[in-house]
């Protein structure tokens, strides 16, 4: 590989990133973090994306062995993919392909654009995302990356309504997960106060809320539900606390009406949401705006198009789908030195809409929020559904507790069966019947429901694991 070409393409890529970054230090107005970008016309956004893609593909080819091999295998030159319209020529990159690369070239894989010599001078932060085989896909981000995603997250957090007068309580561990770190760095960019809550249980966190009065809680929806119940059990009313925003990520929430309403009622606060992934830069690809949910109650999630190109593809063929058709999310990351992935299959279900938003932003929105991940698909006797659909059904039954569990097993005849376990003070057959009825209405499948005494199921402290699949056990 020619070192001069590598250095040239890197310099051009970094110059391109800098050229299309506006208002990097302070908000351009009281309403928007970066009005020149957030309210750009569709043609302006496309022009930015095209300029970045034209600089990106040579950079990938010269600096990533993974991408160079893929270009050569497909018989494509970097110049063959120079615009958004050209992306369809590049088959999506999925997690399995990355895992194979990590296995073949341990421990880092070759999908990064930074070589060993450069890593020693860049400074880096490592995140890991495990696949179904347990093989870690590791992603390192340079100091330049951290500056880029701090700015992107700050724009998203400003859109949510977070200001310098706020204080954020991050109710999440600071492990190799992108969410807490991204919020932490963006808050520093915005001069927003932060209370780190990693390593604390919910009782300790509830004491922090009562004593230090944070205005924004940051965590997974499940963790903030449990924190609210713990806070209430100590005596105070969460809805009367200092908290005004519930800033969630890691699980669907905004698009599940029952979960959103439950959290907002519990805390007397508005719910806002981040959407992103470890692989395609650890910053907010998607975020809630002031107009979500609107008067119709339907949540929408903006996707930041000047720094990423978003599309949805068919779950089976992986062919690109038009706006308005539900498919799996695919991201081309246009905002990273070390991990600018080209058509990475994030794999969450979404329906995109390019119409301008009532908030004034022009970037594409996922209508109904971000749905279940394709990896989480449940196949029960040929009927396919997602845990988020079961969650919507469970939340629709009055009085059902926060925790629930989906158990998949074989019956005596070897047939797949599902039991949904919920908690309710009324353990009569009426509650079980209501749960099965709601699930049938949404998923068109008949399942069993088990009603447990409240407090039976273990509370969720971080990301909820709702499915227990016993079908592979003997």
Residue range 114-157, pLDDT digits in tens: 999 999 999 998 887 744 445 678 889 999 999 898 888 999 99
Angle at 431 (CA atoms; ends 430, 432), nearest 5 degrees: 95
Instruction: For residues 334-342, give the mean pLDDT.
Output: 94
Lowest-confidence segment of 163-167, 269-273, 456-460 by average pLDDT: 456-460
pTM, whole model, 2 decimals?
0.82
Whether 74 has a pLDDT exceeding 60, the answer reads yes
Is residue 474 in some structural domain?
Answer: no
Residue indicated by tokens 């969460």: 238
The pLDDT assigned to 382 comes to 67
pLDDT bracket for residue 461 (50, 70, 90): low
Q: What percent of the chain has pLDDT over 90?
A: 57
Full domain range(s) for residue 241: 1-373
Number of domains comprising the chain: 2
Residue indicated by tokens 């615009």: 83
Q: Please state at what angle helix 143-160 crosses helix 178-189, rounded to 10 degrees.
A: 80
Point out which residues pair with 406 in neighbouring strands.
Answer: 420, 467
Neighbours of 144 (CB within 10 A): 17
The pLDDT assigned to 474 comes to 40
Note whether 459 and 335 are same-domain residues.
Answer: no
Note whether 366 and 414 are same-domain residues.
Answer: no
Note whether 357 and 438 are same-domain residues.
Answer: no
Note whether 312 and 393 are same-domain residues.
Answer: no
pLDDT bracket for residue 55 (50, 70, 90): very high
Instruction: For residues 185-214, give the mean pLDDT.
Output: 93
Q: How many residues does the chain have?
A: 474
Mark which of 340, 373, 406 sits at the end of a domain: 373
Which tokens belong to 263? 């959290």
Contact call for residues 303 and 364 (beta carbons, < 8 A): yes
- What gap in Å lies between CA 393 and CA 424, rounded to an integer? 15
Is residue 427 in some structural domain?
Answer: yes
Is residue 328 in some structural domain?
Answer: yes
Note whether 369 and 383 are same-domain residues.
Answer: no
> DSSP labels for 273-333?
EEE--STT-SS-SEE--TTSS-TT---EEEE-TTTEEEEEE-TTT--B--TTS-EEEEEEE
Note whether 296 and 444 are same-domain residues.
Answer: no
Domain harbouring 404, CATH code: 3.30.300.30
More confident: 276 or 177: 276
The pLDDT assigned to 27 comes to 52
pLDDT digits (tens, 9 = 90+) for 391-429: 888 988 999 988 889 998 888 777 788 899 999 999 888
Note whether 268 and 330 are same-domain residues.
Answer: yes
Whether 25 has a pLDDT exceeding 80, the answer reads no
Instruction: For residues 324-330, give the mean pLDDT.
Output: 94
The pLDDT assigned to 24 comes to 58
124, exposed or middle or buried, with CB in 10 Å at 0-12, 13-18, 19+?
A: middle
Q: Which residues contact 474 (CB under 8 A, 6 or more apart)?
A: none
Note whether 338 and 394 are same-domain residues.
Answer: no
> DSSP labels for 33-46?
S-HHHHT--HHHHH
pLDDT digits (tens, 9 = 90+) for 278-326: 887 667 789 999 898 887 888 999 999 999 999 999 988 999 999 999 9
The pLDDT assigned to 23 comes to 66
Whether 343 has a pLDDT exceeding 90, the answer reads yes
Point out which residues pair with 327 in neighbouring strands.
Answer: 350
Residue indicated by tokens 């990133």: 17
Q: Which residues contact 257 (CB under 8 A, 6 or more apart)?
A: 297, 299, 392, 395
Question: Residue 22: helix, strand or coil by DSSP?
Answer: coil
Please give the helix or strand (H or E) that residue 384 lies within, else none.
strand 383-385
Per DSSP bridges, beta strands 467-469 and 404-410 are parallel
Mark which of 350, 373, 396 sits at the end of a domain: 373
- Cis amide leading into 293 (omega within 30): yes
Is residue 91 in some structural domain?
Answer: yes
The pLDDT assigned to 383 comes to 72
Note whether 84 and 119 are same-domain residues.
Answer: yes
Question: Residue 429: helix, strand or coil by DSSP?
Answer: helix
Phi/psi at 138 (5° precision) = -100, 140
Is residue 180 in some structural domain?
Answer: yes
Which tokens belong to 70? 């893929």
Is residue 294 in some structural domain?
Answer: yes
Phi/psi at 417 (5° precision) = -135, 155
Neighbours of 154 (CB within 10 A): 30
Whether 376 has a pLDDT exceeding 80, the answer reads no
Is residue 90 in some structural domain?
Answer: yes
Mark which of 373, 394, 409 sits at the end of a domain: 373
> DSSP labels for 120-174?
HHH-EEEEEEE-TT--EEEEEEEHHHHHHHHHHHHHHHHHHT--TT-EEEE-S--
Neighbours of 30 (CB within 10 A): 7
- b/e for 12-22, b at 16 or more Cβ within 10 A? ebeebbeebbe
Instruction: For residues 442-457, give the mean pLDDT.
Output: 88
Whether 222 has a pLDDT exceeding 70, the answer reads yes
When computed from its CA atoms, the radius of gyration of the chain, rounded to whole angstroms, is: 23
Is residue 63 in some structural domain?
Answer: yes
Note whether 362 and 407 are same-domain residues.
Answer: no
- What gap in Å lies between CA 413 and CA 407, rounded to an integer? 17
The pLDDT assigned to 465 comes to 78
Which tokens belong to 111? 């999908």
pLDDT digits (tens, 9 = 90+) for 231-254: 999 999 999 999 999 999 888 788
Note whether 174 and 315 are same-domain residues.
Answer: yes
Least Cα distance to 442 among 373, 372, 374 occurs for 372
What is the maximum alpha-carbon separation in the chain?
Answer: 74
Per DSSP bridges, beta strands 308-313 and 378-380 are unpaired
Note whether 268 and 399 are same-domain residues.
Answer: no
Domain harbouring 83, CATH code: 3.40.50.12780
Instruction: For residues 376-397, give the mean pLDDT.
Output: 80
Q: What is the mean pLDDT of the chain?
A: 89
Contact call for residues 59 and 13 (beta carbons, < 8 A): yes
Angle at 370 (CA atoms; ends 113, 281), nearest 5 degrees: 15
pLDDT bracket for residue 171 (50, 70, 90): very high
- What gap in Å lies between CA 474 and CA 470, rounded to an integer? 9
CA atoms 72, 78, 82, 84: torsion sign? positive
């Amino acid at each position: 590989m020619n070192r001069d070409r590598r250095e040239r393409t890197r310099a051009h890529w970094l110059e391109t990133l800098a050229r299309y970054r506006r208002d990097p230090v302070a908000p351009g107005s009281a309403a928007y973090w970066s009005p020149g970008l957030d309210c750009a016309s569709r043609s302006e956004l496309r022009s930015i994306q095209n300029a970045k893609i034209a600089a990106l593909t040579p950079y990938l080819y010269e600096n990533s062995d993974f991408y160079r091999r893929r270009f050569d295998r497909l018989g494509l030159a970097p110049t063959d993919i120079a615009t958004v319209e050209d992306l369809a020529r590049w088959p999506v990159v999925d997690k399995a392909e990355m895992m194979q690369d990590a296995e073949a070239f341990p421990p880092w894989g070759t999908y990064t654009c930074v070589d060993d010599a450069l890593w020693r001078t860049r400074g880096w932060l490592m995140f890991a995302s495990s696949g179904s085989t347990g093989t870690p896909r590791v992603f390192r981000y340079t100091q330049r990356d951290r500056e880029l995603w701090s700015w992107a997250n700050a724009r998203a957090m400003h859109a949510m309504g977070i200001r310098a007068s706020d204080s954020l309580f991050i109710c999440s561990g600071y492990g190799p997960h992108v969410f807490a770190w991204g919020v932490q760095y963006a808050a520093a960019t915005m001069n927003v106060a932060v209370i780190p809550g990693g390593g604390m249980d919910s009782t300790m966190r509830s004491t922090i809320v009562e004593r230090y009065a944070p205005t924004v809680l940051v965590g997974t929806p499940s963790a903030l539900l449990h924190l609210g119940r713990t806070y209430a059990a100590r005596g105070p009313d969460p809805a009367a606390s200092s908290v005004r925003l519930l800033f969630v990520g890691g699980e669907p929430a905004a698009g599940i009406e029952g979960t959103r309403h439950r959290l907002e009622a519990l805390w007397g606060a508005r719910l806002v949401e981040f959407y992103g992934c470890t692989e395609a830069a650890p910053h907010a690809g998607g975020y809630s705006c002031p107009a979500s949910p609107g008067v119709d109650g339907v949540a929408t999630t903006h996707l930041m198009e000047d720094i990423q190109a978003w599309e949805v593809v068919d779950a089976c063929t992986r062919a690109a789908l038009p706006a308005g058709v539900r498919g799996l999310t695919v991201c081309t990351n246009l905002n990273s030195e070390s991990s600018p992935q080209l058509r990475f299959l994030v794999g969450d279900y979404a329906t995109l809409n390019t119409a301008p938003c009532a908030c004034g932003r022009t970037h594409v929105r996922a209508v109904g929020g971000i749905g279940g991940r394709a990896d989480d698909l449940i196949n029960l006797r040929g009927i396919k559904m997602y845990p988020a659909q079961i969650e919507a059904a469970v939340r629709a039954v009055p009085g059902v507790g926060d925790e629930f569990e989906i158990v998949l097993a074989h019956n005596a005849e070897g047939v797949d069966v599902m039991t949904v376990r919920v908690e309710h003070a009324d353990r009569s057959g009426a509650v079980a019947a209501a749960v099965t009825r709601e699930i049938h209405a949404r998923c068109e499948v008949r399942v069993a429901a088990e009603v447990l005494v409240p407090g039976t199921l273990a509370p969720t402290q971080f990301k909820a694991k709702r499915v227990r699949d016993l079908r592979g056990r003997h």
